A and B are shown apart, each in its own frame.
Chain A
Amino acid sequence: MTSGRRGRLNKQWLWVGLYALTMAIIPNVLANNYYMKMLIVLAINTIIVIGLNLLMGYAGQVSLGHAAFYGIGAYSSAIMTTKYGMSAWLGIVAAILVGGLVAYLIAIPALRLKGHYLAMATLGFAEIVHILFIELREITGGTDGLYGVPAPSIAGFAFDTPQRLYVLVWMVLVICLVMALNIAKSRVGRALRAVHGSEIAAASMGVDTAKYKIQVFVLSGILACVGGSLYASMAGYVSSESFTLTVSITLVTMAVCGGMGNVWGAVIGASTLTIMQEYLKSYNDYNLVIFGAILILAMVFMPQGIYGAFSDLAKKLKHRLQAIPETAGEQHAAS
């Protein structure tokens, strides 16, 4: 039994290696700035959606407001670097601290709510934050946004081209993925799933449900902030338009369409939808019409998400394959 568990774990790290390798090779094949930027956005989205999946898929707590943390991360970085002359690294640290604190403060009252109430509270919170991005002109630059966000550099090597920045984003992505997979299979991961499965039973098993809900909310908020910080470095500027309700919803959609309750679902969802959105841009006005239609169809035909649909299919195929020799044997015996 124990050896079986080990075997499964090794296989998981094999997938991580394979994924990391693929993500490292792609830029060498698609070596132009357009694809590089898309790939950076894809990686950033994956980082954020991994956090959202821990929050929603594992702990079952809905957030329609993660664009706020994405924005807080980006603005914190931008303000610290452009207004206070800090290095981009300190910008990322600031983003994590500010975002983590805001997430903590909002989590305490919000996570006492459930279901739709929680969804709408996070949405309301994100709308307020978005309005503040526009209205606090002195520090956020209002509708103009902030320009001249520097790229991080280390020992004289600046991550200042998309190719170079991608190396950094790739590293952060792989670290986040490994951490999320570690949490998922651990005591804390089980506690989160228990909160989702039955809060009252979780509490009766000694799980401090409030504590874990707050922890995972803060963690997902911080991952969104890290994403925002990296985004600011890539784009070189931040403006409120990048952090609207639509962005919150797109992130949630990535989590749901990929498949909730599985870290790989987040990876699949973020990758598929980022590529799809990029591709749909060529349809101009019809872009979002198609996007909306795909969302509805995806939910109607694959409510478990892509990962869920494929693992169901895999299970069925396995059953089929196991059933064939048996029935063949039976027929043989009958004849």
Chain B
Amino acid sequence: MPLLEVENLRKQFGGLMAVDDVSFRVHRDQIKALIGPNGAGKTTLFNALTGVDKPTSGKVLFDGADITGKRAHEVAEIGIARTFQNTQIFANMNVLENVMVGRHCQTKSGIFSCMLGLPSVRREDLESEERAYSLLTLVGLEKKAKSSSDDLPVGERHLLEIARALATEPKLILLDEPAAGLNNEETSRLSDTIYRIRGNGVTVLLVEHDMGLVMEISDEVVVLNFGKKIAEGPPLLIQQDEQVIQAYLGQEIEHA
């Protein structure tokens, strides 16, 4: 059984069909990439998968269960975590605390036990802190644990978001353009990190514009254009696909 099944998913904004009848599957322990020209509907698809937006029609199955239309926090509890293209760092917290927010799903203390400062709350907090710290080590931000998160450069913000998402202990992590703002060296470190994430048993679905990275790390690629899926397959086949070349060439010409 695939980990994630997307069936005939549609998302309409007014007259615009941002995601149009898209279906694909992500298998356990895969690294799958979602690519496509700007405005192809990649982030919209992510939003529809994670409960940020409700899909107009279609189905999302996770681990065999229908999760279509669940709210964002419920999706997170089920085991799907994500990062954001325009990073959404909690600027009012330090780096470590940001990651500790990710531990929310894994902890239970309610407002009353927190208010009373029960020993169980303190125990949970220490555990969270240690786990958050080790995740920061995984992405290489452990030295900045106590820094203000607002001072981080763009690249490190993406890394922080990855650590934060991992803190929810997801089965599937959705990365939205994690390489944006990274230099070559940082990108190659990122690909190591993504391999390590997969090595820890977390399936990866990523949206990315850096084709070098996508072709290097992905097991499979889904290509979207104008909201529709135009191709799916291993990187080598995708690179030779007529429609894909057309879609990207079309864009190149527009740019020029």
Contacts and interface: CB of A to CB of B under 8 A. Distances in A.
Q: In the complex, are there CB atoms of A and B closer than 8 Å?
A: yes
Interface of A: 1-2, 5, 178-179, 182-183, 185-191, 193-194, 196-198, 200-209, 215, 219, 261
A201 B52 CA distance: 10
A61 to B, nearest CB: 14
A325 to B, nearest CB: 22
Nearest to A188: B114
B42 interface: no
Nearest to B82: A204
A1 B97 CA distance: 14
Looking at chain B's contact residues, is the secondary structure mostly helix, strand, loop, or mixed?
Answer: helix
7 contacts: A5-B129, A200-B72, A202-B90, A204-B52, A204-B82, A204-B88, A205-B76
Given A194-B90, A207-B104, A188 B73 contact: no
The 4 A-B residue pairs whose C-beta atoms are closest, nearest first, are A197-B90, A206-B105, A201-B88, A203-B72
Contacts of A206: 73, 76-77, 104-105, 168
Given A186-B125, A203-B76, A205-B73, 5 more contacts: A188-B114, A190-B97, A190-B100, A191-B101, A193-B93
Interface in B84-129: 84, 88-93, 97, 100-105, 107, 109-111, 114-117, 121, 124-126, 128-129
B169 to A, nearest CB: 10
Q: Bin chain B's interface residue count.
A: 35 or more
Looking at chain A's contact residues, is the secondary structure mostly helix, strand, loop, or mixed?
Answer: helix
Contact of A196 (B52, B92, B116, B125): B92
Contact of B107 (A185, A187, A193): A187
Contacts of A186: 109, 114, 117, 121, 125
Nearest to A195: B90
B93 to A, nearest CB: 6
Given A206-B76, A206-B77, A197 B89 contact: yes
Contacts of B116: 179, 182
Contacts of B164: 201, 205
